[in-house]
Amino acid sequence: MSVRYRDISWRFLKVLHRDVVVAKRLWKVNFLVPLLEPAFYILAFGLGFRTLIGDVDYAGLKLTYVEFLAPALIASAVMWNSFFETTFGSFVRMYYQKTFDGILATPVSLEEIIVAEMVYAALRSTAAAAIMVAVLTPLGFVAFPACLLIPLVAFLGGMVFAAAGMIFTGAIPTIDMFNLPIFLFITPMFLFSSTFFPMTDVPVWGRVLSWATPLYHVVELTRGLALGAMDSDPWVSLAYLLIASIVLGDLALRSMKRRLVK
């Protein structure tokens, strides 16, 4: 079953609206995680690791380890939020709740449902990033007013991870098998995409691998906006994320259509 782009209209906003109505019911839980998560990391690394790790050289700046880490926490929250939403979240709606089946009896196309799911996931990333920026800016870890652009980066990055998650949702037979892509892709990205250590001392092959991951580009852009300087070219990273969201988005639509059109 091929993807029909002409079947995508603004009606996808109605499906998005559904997800937002549900999110509002759970807003307290949804807000708590991005609010507390950076606090935990900063406490752990700021207090616990302070004596173990010295300063970090990044893009000509001399940073404490926590200053280096804080923007990357925002970037990885972007990844986790949208990837979880289009894997576990969408799978439950698709498979257990049959929400998509119900919607397919109305003048909404499957393409619109999938687009709405991905946009919703990206918006969750955006909201998480915005909350974290609101926590980290007054603490001095994120520069004002450039930080106001971080949610935009979060949305774009969120679309990339949402699409990646959706590809697996279309392909995976049972819900517990999501552990596999998480173990194989998400966790390594979380650890090796210049999140916890700068790329300067890493051998070339490591740098290339890291560069190839979307998280690296989200981390770099977030760091650039938070610190006012970055190691790489922001336009390259933006282009990477834009292209990745389009390519992966198309693959996600294909994957879900193959699964759901019977």
Partner 1 sequence: MVKRYGAITAVKGVSFCVPRGEFFGLLGPNGAGKTSLIRMIYGFSPLSEGELLVFGKDIGTQWRYIRSRIGVCQQDNTLDPDLSVEQNLHVFAGYFNMKPAETRSRTDELLEFFALQHKRRSKVMDLSGGMARRLVLARALINNPELLILDEPTTGLDPQSRHQVWDRLGALRERGLSLLLTTHYMDEAASLCERLLIVDHGKALVEGSPQELIEEHAGRNIIEISPAPDGLLAFLEAKGAAYDDLGDRIVIYAGAESGLEETLRTRFCIDQCTIRPAGLEDVFLRLTGRGLRE
Task: Provide the minimum distance between the beta carbon of 89 and partner 1 in the complex, in angstroms, as a whole number.
Answer: 10
| Nearer Cβ to partner 1 (95/197) | 95
Task: Quote the tokens at residue 110.
Answer: 């499957």
Task: Provide the minimum distance between the beta carbon of 82 and partner 1 in the complex, in angstroms, as a whole number.
Answer: 19
Is-cis flag, bond preceding 145, omega within 30? yes
Q: What are phi and psi of 42, to 5 degrees?
A: -70, -40
| Nearer Cβ to partner 1 (4/62) | 4
| Nearer Cβ to partner 1 (48/102) | 102
Q: Please, where are the H alpha helices in the chain?
A: 12-25, 27-43, 65-84, 90-91, 99-103, 110-136, 150-171, 179-181, 187-192, 204-212, 214-227, 234-260
Q: Name residue 165's beta-bridge partners.
A: none
| Nearer Cβ to partner 1 (9/200) | 9
| Nearer Cβ to partner 1 (96/235) | 96
Q: How far is CA 143 from CA 37, 83, 227, 238, 242, in A?
A: 20, 27, 6, 20, 25
Task: Provide the minimum distance between the beta carbon of 17 and partner 1 in the complex, in angstroms, as a whole number.
Answer: 6
Residue 143 CB coordination number (10 Å): 14
Three-state DSSP state, 49 = coil
| Nearer Cβ to partner 1 (67/85) | 85
Q: What are phi and psi of 51, to 5 degrees?
A: -85, -20
Task: Provide the minimum distance between the beta carbon of 37 and partner 1 in the complex, in angstroms, as a whole number.
Answer: 24
Give me the residues that bind partner 1 (CB under 8 A), please.
1, 11, 14-15, 17-18, 21-22, 25, 97-99, 101-109, 261-262
Task: Provide the minimum distance between the beta carbon of 167 and partner 1 in the complex, in angstroms, as a whole number.
Answer: 22
Task: Provide the minimum distance between the beta carbon of 144 and partner 1 in the complex, in angstroms, as a whole number.
Answer: 37
Cα–Cα distance for residue pair 132/120, rounded to 1 Å: 18
